[in-house]
Amino acid sequence: MPMFDVARLDRHLGDRVIATALDTMTSQRILERIWAHDHTVWKPVDREISNRLGWLHSPEEMPLQLDRLWSFAQDLRAEDYHTAVLLGMGGSSLAPELYARTFGTRPGYLQLQVLDSTDPGAVLAACEPLDLSRTLFIVSTKSGGTVETLSAFKYFYNQVGAELGLDHAGEHFAAITDPGSALADLATRYAFRTTFLNDPNIGGRYSALSYFGLMPAAVIGLDVPQLLARARDVATMCRPSASTADNPGAVLGAILACAAQVGRDKLTFILSPALAAFGDWVEQLIAESTGKEGKGILPVVGEPLGRPDLYVANDRLFVRLRLSDEPSEDTALAAIEDAGHPVVRLTLRDRYDVGAQFFLWELATAVAGHLMGINPFDQPNVEAAKVQARKVVAEYTTRGALPTPPPTATGDGIAVYATPGTAAASCGAPAAALREFIALTRPGDYVALEAYVQATPRNDAALQAFRLALRDRLRVATTLGYGPRFLHSTGQLHKGDAGRGLFIQITADDQRDVPIPDEARNPKSSISFGVLKMAQALGDHQALLDAGRRVIRFHLADVATGLEHLTHAVASSDA
């Protein structure tokens, strides 16, 4: 059962700010109204609110689907399938990835890979080792129109058709989508083996305990009834029959919102290795739900804990998640708390308690949205980057080339694209341009690394070194996301928050490219994955500029080597 020391946290945040928020929620019957689907908890006009609260009932309703999930998994085993590849983005991919990384695969069940990228190297890395005759592709998108997902579907459908015959290709595909979506029609047209139609009243980032999360969980052999039972236990505690002060979702939501309102809006997760994948899931939930209307809570995931003196801005709230069989105290975290920073500690009995954490954080995010005066269920700024990317693609199809301006500086295998008229744009060398750019940092800012490159161990290590050099030099929060994956996670917050981010884009030429079929069953191609990825990077760059954000792009001949140069430039600067 989640327990929070509200009195201790209030001493860090201010005089009874959390307790006062809980009292106000009680007097306004906020929990009762949330469970009654009352949109006025958040906004006077019902836009994407009352029809986005189906997740409240997933722990009670999804057990009714367990027989179908179990039968589907057993049929795949009986037919000797060995691998499932999930094609999805954001809310369609993050919970399945969490299940795979946290639990692994039970003997005899399928291994799960998640492809949520348009990077051609990532596409090839997913495809080349596969035995297509024993592989199931799960096409997962709520809207049915996600460009990354549909591009991957067309590519893999043609690969399966070429090897096994088009008459049998559909047997290797299953869909998860909303009723009436374009994917539902596509699944019928291409004879998918089955389609799971999800509750349309559940938004993507709140869908971990629906078909979007639980069908892949069943395929890899998880104890889905146990996951739902853990979620149901916490959902019962979060019902309005409990007092607000004893409601864990209400209390956590008040902690998040009150911390943000007093300037501690960098929600920094310290996760045990076994729970590392939880960070990516909760990052999307919080960033996309709260980053709008000039407000936002920035989830900081994967940034190692540093010395207390690195957190001089006093803008952090730390959350520690661990399993019960791990050490109960962390010396470094205790030093952070002793220095005056608030810390929330959550202990899971075992890995299946992630089911409880899903519901806890979903309700807490909804409560935080209420206290912050925002709608936590929409994503008004996400479309901006998509619109700009579509413009870039249209220009490519017309001219046969991407609309890339000349770099503002070159050297050491790096081309710099700085905003015209800025100090960084007047520099003749990449290192100098980077130093000028990070000199714009102010207290309370954050630096976001946006890496439109393939996620490999070598690139991971180089990006993380660059990130920590920036954190240690600037003493600000840092985030790291691979593109276009992060566009479906933190992209909303990047354009919708208070504008405290500095955005460093990392791009590179692809060693190999992969054509995207214009349609399944037809090899004709007008665009490649590499072009689509670069169009998304350029579109996001323009959307950030349109939102008044500070952004710079470094195009690297070799990713790891170029990042080493940039890391050295930060470490040797006087910023």
**pLDDT tens-digit map of 15-38:** 899 999 999 999 999 999 999 999
Tell me the C-alpha distance between 139 and 211, whole Å: 12
Q: What is the DSSP letter of 206?
A: G
Tell me the C-alpha distance between 243 and 379, whole Å: 31
Looking up tokens 């790096």 gives 414
For 207-240, the DSSP string reads -TTSHHHHHHHHHTT--HHHHHHHHHHHHHHTST
Tell me the C-alpha distance between 163 and 1, whole Å: 51
Please state whether beta strands 173-177 and 194-197 pair in parallel, antiparallel, or not at all (unpaired): parallel
Domains 57-222 and 382-571 equal at CATH topology level: yes
Please state whether beta strands 111-115 and 83-87 pair in parallel, antiparallel, or not at all (unpaired): parallel
Do 108 and 77 touch, CB atoms closer than 8 A? yes
Per-residue pLDDT of the chain (575 residues; tens, 9 = 90+): 577 889 899 888 888 999 999 999 999 999 999 999 999 999 999 999 999 999 999 999 999 999 999 999 999 999 999 999 999 999 999 999 999 999 998 999 999 999 999 999 999 999 999 999 999 999 999 999 999 999 999 999 999 999 999 999 999 999 999 999 999 999 999 999 999 999 999 999 999 999 999 999 999 999 999 999 999 999 999 999 889 999 999 999 999 999 999 999 999 999 999 999 999 999 999 999 999 999 999 999 999 999 999 999 999 999 999 999 887 668 899 999 999 999 999 999 999 999 999 999 999 999 999 999 999 999 999 989 999 999 999 999 999 999 989 999 999 999 999 999 999 999 999 999 999 999 999 999 999 999 999 999 999 999 999 999 999 999 999 999 999 999 999 999 999 999 999 999 999 999 999 999 999 999 999 999 999 999 999 999 999 999 999 999 999 999 999 999 999 999 886 54
**Domain with residues 6-36+231-372, CATH architecture:** 3-Layer(aba) Sandwich (3.40)
Do 122 and 151 touch, CB atoms closer than 8 A? no
H/E stretch holding 507? strand 501-508
Q: What does the angle CA 496 – CA 502 – CA 505 come to, to the nearest 5 degrees?
A: 100
Q: Where are the domains of the chain?
A: 6-36+231-372, 57-222, 382-571
| 3.40.50.620, 1.20.1070.10, 3.40.50.10490, 3.20.20.70: CATH of 57-222 | 3.40.50.10490
Which one, of 122, 139, 128, lies nearest residue 85 by Cα? Answer: 139
Do 341 and 259 touch, CB atoms closer than 8 A? no
Tell me the C-alpha distance between 319 and 261, whole Å: 17
- Residue 125 identity (one-letter amino acid): A
* Structure confidence at residue 575 (pLDDT): 46
Do 178 and 184 touch, CB atoms closer than 8 A? yes
* Structure confidence at residue 574 (pLDDT): 59
CATH number of 382-571: 3.40.50.10490
- Strand residues in 88-228 grouped as ranges (E): 111-115, 135-140, 173-177, 194-197
Structure tokens at 46: 């019902």
Structure tokens at 567: 């890391």
Looking up tokens 């609309």 gives 403
